[in-house]
């Protein structure tokens, strides 16, 4: 009988031990789950703050009037940086030379069409090796992409063509200065 009671007691002790282990595992799992939720919450909060900072920076960049060499005012104009770029690459001289070849093209075009065409011309123009080096050097010196230097050339070309078309690209907007 002692052995039966010993077996029963052993079984009960083993069952209680297993129950204790199971309860400990459950408590660990609960703590782990709570920690996981806290980490998720903290991580979510941090991601939310980063997203907010990025969006704030994005909207601030949109509100900045003069990022790059071209002012965001309408009509597009060169700002101080754009004037420096133009002076460095000889933009006004280039525009004067190229505008002579486009004088016939502007007949009957409005200011917007002329402007868009100037961006295409400046982007796809067959620059001489010296002009290319000047564009790349200016871009390097001023920390700009070469595309922005070409956009400065486009604005200079547009201004020249608008003069030929007797249109004004002043700060007050484009307006005819003489009848066609």
pLDDT of amino acid 76: 85
- Is the distance from CB of 124 to CB of 147 less than 8 angstroms? no
**Tokens representing residue 61 in the block:** 């960049």
**Do residues 69 and 139 lie in contact, with contact meaning Cβ atoms separated by under 8 Å?**
no
Closest-CA residue to 101 (of 128, 130, 121): 121
pLDDT at 178: 37
- Which is nearest to 82 in space by CA: 159, 172, 27? 159
End-to-end CA distance of the chain: 124
pLDDT at 42: 78
| pLDDT at residue 135 in the model | 95
pLDDT along the chain (180 residues), means of 10: 67 67 69 75 78 71 63 81 94 94 88 93 95 95 92 95 78 39
Contact, 121 vs 102, CB < 8 A? Answer: yes
C-alpha span between 29 and 69 (Å, rounded) = 60
Residues 4, 9: Cα–Cα separation, whole Å: 8
pTM of the predicted model, to two decimals?
0.58
Q: What is the DSSP string of 50-113?
A: HHHHHHHHHHHHHH-S-SSSEE-SSS-EE-HHHHHHHHHHTHHHHHHHHHHHHTTTTTT--HHH
Determine the Cα–Cα distance for residues 162 and 180; give it in Å rounded to an integer: 13
Beta-carbon contacts of 102 under 8 Å, excluding residues fewer than 6 positions away, are: 117, 121, 157, 161
Q: Quick one: pLDDT at residue 174? A: 44
Counting Cβ atoms within 10 Å, is residue 51 exposed (0-12), middle (13-18) or buried (19+)?
A: exposed
145 C-beta neighbours (distance < 10 Å), count: 10
């Amino acid at each position: 009988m002692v052995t039966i009671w010993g077996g029963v007691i052993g079984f009960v002790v083993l069952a209680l031990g297993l129950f204790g282990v199971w309860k400990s595992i459950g408590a660990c799992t609960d703590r782990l789950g709570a920690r996981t939720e806290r980490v998720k919450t903290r991580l979510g909060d941090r991601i939310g703050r980063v997203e907010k900072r990025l969006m704030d920076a994005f909207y601030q960049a949109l509100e900045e009037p003069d990022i790059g060499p071209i002012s965001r005012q309408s009509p597009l104009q060169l700002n101080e940086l754009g004037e420096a770029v133009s002076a460095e690459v000889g933009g006004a001289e280039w525009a004067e030379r190229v505008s002579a070849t486009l004088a016939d093209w502007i007949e009957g075009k409005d200011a917007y069409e002329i402007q868009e065409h100037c961006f295409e011309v400046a982007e796809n123009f067959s620059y001489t090796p010296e002009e290319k080096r000047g564009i790349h050097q200016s871009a390097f010196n001023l920390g700009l992409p070469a595309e922005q230097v070409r956009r400065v050339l486009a604005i200079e070309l547009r201004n020249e063509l608008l003069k030929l078309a007797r249109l004004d690209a002043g700060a007050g907007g484009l307006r005819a200065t003489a009848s066609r």
